[in-house]
Structure 1
Amino acid sequence: PALFMENARKSSIVSRANSIGSTSASSVPNTDDEDSDYHQEPYKESYKDRRRRAHTQAEQKRRDAIKKGYDDLQAIVPTCEQQDFSIGSQKLSKAIVLQKTIDYIQFLHKEKKKQEEEVSTLRKDVMALKIMKVNYEQIVKAHQDNPNEGKDQVSDEVKFNVFQGIMDSLFQSFNASISVTSFQELSACVFSWIEEHCKPQTLRDIVVGVLHQLTSQLY
């Protein structure tokens, strides 16, 4: 009986061990089979990654556009092409490029204003020359129509009276227009008076008036 009990106990232990081994084996995954059935899916870019990539591309385009703009300014503005000895041979900074561009634009504005003033002055000169041309043509025509008119000589007194009459008329307008509060204001008024009262047509009217007055006195 003791031997029988010992054999039964050993048989029970072996049976339980086989049962545990079978259960453990069934619970362990078949690695070889799963590896053969597993297929790796391709990487899908997330929305966040797409936004980051689009932002990076847009930022790069913006930087390229800014760089091209500064390069164009350096090529267009003459002062940017000149060597600045204060900074040596190093590349001009963006701040210097902008400042040189501003200075050059201001220079162009001043030159434009100066040229406009010169054009205005030339136009006035052309107008005065046209008036003088018409006057000389009238004088020549008058002499051609009356060839004996120029034979009568006038005295120096008559010439002085003509000159005095012209100067008196000019002084009246000069005295009425000029302020003597300060020398600076006097200078400004003189130039203003010359432009207003010394125009060719104005002087012509003064001379004609003086000549008519002397003619009525002499004849």
Structure 2
Amino acid sequence: MTEAMSNDSKHESADDEDSDHKSTISYKERRREAHTQAEQKRRDAIKKGYDDLQVLVPTCQQDSANSFKMSKATVLQKSIDYITFLLQQKKKHEEELSALRKEVVALQIMKANYEQIVKVHQSQPGQNNNQISDEVKFQVFQAIGDSLFQSFDSSISVANFAELSACVFSWLEEYCKPQTLKDVALQVLSQLNHLVAGAQRSS
């Protein structure tokens, strides 16, 4: 009977060892499988990232007829170049916006100044009795036009339409700036004022 119990004990011990061995193998397999799944997820995420870049970055997009597959290094480089381009455009637009804001402020100041000038003139005694005639207005307009035409005539070449267009735009940039037009108008008004004052003294 003792021998039988000894044999039973050996069988139980062997079964326990087999169970421990199987448990160890099962744990390793689970770890290996979990690692494999994690690695696959990582690779899928990277692949999806490259696929998304090729869709989002215009320079990475290819025609369906083109069977050439773009390498990952090329996709990354084109993406970097495109991001750099976008940053440069952003900086340019910010500078343009800043310039426009400054221009708006300057125009608002000019508007306020002109409104103040109008108020001063309107508040002068006898202002309503000293209205400017249409003839004088036309003389001012004609004098400004004549002054501008002198620079226009000396700057424009009509050899062909392309050259004419280029000259017109160049003339506009040089002679039709707000400050230039203001100087011309002030000069014309000053000359006309002297003429009117002289005529009044003569009469």
3-state SS, counterpart of residue 108 of structure 1:
helix
Of residues 186, 193, 202, the one that matches 1:215 is 193
Q: In the alignment, which residue of structure 1 is the partner of 2:56?
A: 78
Task: Deviation per CA, 1:40-68: give whole Å up to 9, x if none.
Answer: xxxxxxxxxxxxxxxxxxxxxxxxxxxx8
Other structure's SS at 2:57 match: helix
Residue in structure 1 matched with residue 129 of structure 2 by the alignment:
151
Alignment partners' CA distance in 2, 1:195 and 1:124? 20
The aligned runs of 1:53-132 (5 Å cut-off) are: 78-79=56-57, 86=64, 93-94=71-72, 97-98=75-76, 100-101=78-79, 104-105=82-83, 108=86, 111-112=89-90, 115=93, 118-119=96-97, 122=100, 125-126=103-104, 129-130=107-108, 132=110
Alpha carbons of structure 1 residues 177 and 93: separation in structure 2 relative to 1, 3 Å: same
Q: Deviation at 1:148? A: 2.5
The structure number with the bigger radius of gyration is: 1
For the aligned residue pairs, the C-alpha RMSD in angstroms reads 4.5
Task: Classify 1:85/1:204 alpha carbon distance in 2 versus 1 (closer, same or farther; 3 Å).
Answer: closer
Whichever residue aligns with residue 146 of structure 1, its letter is Q
Is the 2:54–2:75 contact (alpha carbons within 8 Å) kept by the matching residues of 1?
Answer: no
Mapped to 1, the partners of 2:160 and 2:62 lie a distance apart of: 45
Query: Percent of pairs identical after alignment?
Result: 60
Give the distance between the partners of 1:87 and 1:120, measured in 2 at CA.
45
Note the alpha carbon deviations across 1:109-147, whole angstroms, 9 max, x for none. 784586368447725742661463254134234225414
Asked if structure 1 preserves the Cα contact closer than 8 Å seen for 2:151 and 2:175, the reply is yes
Long gaps (5+) in structure 2 = 1-45, 198-203
- The TM-score normalised by the length of structure 2 is 0.52
Structure 1: which 5+ runs fail to align?
1-67
Residues 153-192 of structure 1 aligned to structure 2 (within 5 Å): 153-192=131-170
Alignment partner of 2:179 out of 190, 193, 201: 201
CA distance in 1, matches of 2:147, 2:129: 29
Instruction: Report 1 or 2 for greater relative contact order, CA contacts < 8 Å, sequence distance ≥ 6.
Output: 1
Deviations 1:165-199 (A, max 9, x none): 11111112222333334322322232232222222
107 and 187 in structure 1: CA distance in 2 versus 1, 3 angstrom threshold: farther
Alignment length (residue pairs): 151
